[in-house]
């Protein structure tokens, strides 16, 4: 790991820990426990990278790390959907249908033939498709929120705004590695990905530590009328 890589990793570690600390101190961790787990894993992996072990720098480990990250991001998207639409039965039914369709599409797109589990196949096919699928999942969730006029917590909105552009950037990075070669361009691609990732973490840190405005208590009574109105407005065949 050279100096630039070390700097990006260290900054990412500090930012991820800052976001996690902000969620705990401002009592926002309950907004998405899967998101908190994601940040914890990111922090631990970044700390492991800084130990300088060559095992953490291998392409195989990088693919494993990104596969774990992708799984956790999917968990965040699912939890976000369930939390956002739980007070809106009509929207929940439609969002579940969309989630199932996107899930099937993601699984089908990322499936590779057995015996083809080589680095180039995973790097060039499975991982970019999984990343694109996750980005579309977050985008679809945001579209449903706008369509049904569902109120969002500040942290939930920040998660959506942060993940979508970063995941699209990461997909471009993966395609560039596949097109131009890992050995020749992995450093430049890594710098671009790390810069985009740290910007996302910095944005989340600002939101996590920002003093909360007075938000309605999520006890089910506040949203009862809004839920009925929303379902009636968008009901149909």
Dump pLDDT digits (tens) for 98-147.
Answer: 766 766 666 555 554 434 445 545 555 667 777 777 887 888 888 888 88
Phi then psi dihedrals of residue 196, to 5 deg: -65, -40
Cα–Cα dist 166/218, whole Å: 30
pLDDT at 161: 92
223 domain-assigned? no
208 domain-assigned? yes
175 domain-assigned? yes
pLDDT at 113: 46
pLDDT in tens, 88-98: 777 677 777 77
pLDDT at 206: 95
32 domain-assigned? yes
Alpha helices in the chain (DSSP H): 3-25, 33-49, 59-85, 89-110, 119-121, 127-148, 154-180, 182-209, 224-233
pLDDT in tens, 56-66: 667 677 777 88
pLDDT at 228: 47
Structural domain count, the chain: 1
* pTM for this entry: 0.77
Cα–Cα dist 58/35, whole Å: 26
Check whether 226 has a pLDDT greater than 90: no
Domain residue limits at 132: 3-212
Residue from 110, 100, 212, 98 nearest 156 by CA: 212
pLDDT band at 23 (very low <50, low <70, confident <90, very high): very high
Q: Give SS3 for 50.
A: coil
pLDDT band at 74 (very low <50, low <70, confident <90, very high): confident
| % of residues, the chain, pLDDT over 90 | 26
224 domain-assigned? no
pLDDT band at 221 (very low <50, low <70, confident <90, very high): very low
Q: Span 20-45, mean pLDDT?
A: 93
9 domain-assigned? yes
42 domain-assigned? yes
pLDDT in tens, 165-213: 898 888 777 777 666 665 556 667 778 888 999 999 999 999 999 987 6
217 domain-assigned? no
């Amino acid at each position: 790991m050279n100096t630039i890589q070390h700097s990006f990793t260290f900054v990412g570690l500090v930012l991820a820990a800052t976001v996690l600390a902000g969620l705990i101190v401002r009592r926002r961790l309950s907004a998405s426990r899967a998101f908190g787990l994601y940040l914890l894993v990111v922090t631990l992996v970044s700390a492991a990278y800084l130990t300088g072990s060559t095992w953490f720098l291998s392409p195989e480990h990088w693919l494993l790390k990104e596969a774990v990250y992708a799984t956790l991001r999917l968990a965040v998207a699912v939890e976000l959907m369930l939390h956002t639409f739980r007070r809106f039965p009509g929207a929940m039914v439609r969002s579940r249908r969309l989630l199932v369709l996107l899930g099937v599409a993601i699984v089908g797109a990322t499936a590779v033939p057995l015996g083809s589990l080589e680095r180039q196949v995973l790097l060039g096919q499975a991982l970019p498709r999984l990343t694109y699928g996750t980005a579309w999942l977050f985008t679809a969730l945001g579209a449903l929120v706008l369509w049904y006029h569902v109120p969002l917590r500040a942290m939930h909105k920040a998660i959506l705004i942060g993940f979508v552009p970063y995941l699209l950037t990461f997909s471009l990075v993966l395609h560039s590695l596949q097109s131009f070669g890992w050995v020749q361009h992995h450093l430049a691609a890594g710098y671009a990905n790390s810069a985009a990732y740290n910007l996302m973490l910095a944005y989340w840190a600002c939101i996590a530590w920002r003093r909360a405005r007075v938000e309605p208590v999520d006890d089910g009574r506040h949203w009862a009328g809004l839920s009925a109105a929303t379902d009636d407005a968008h009901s149909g065949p």
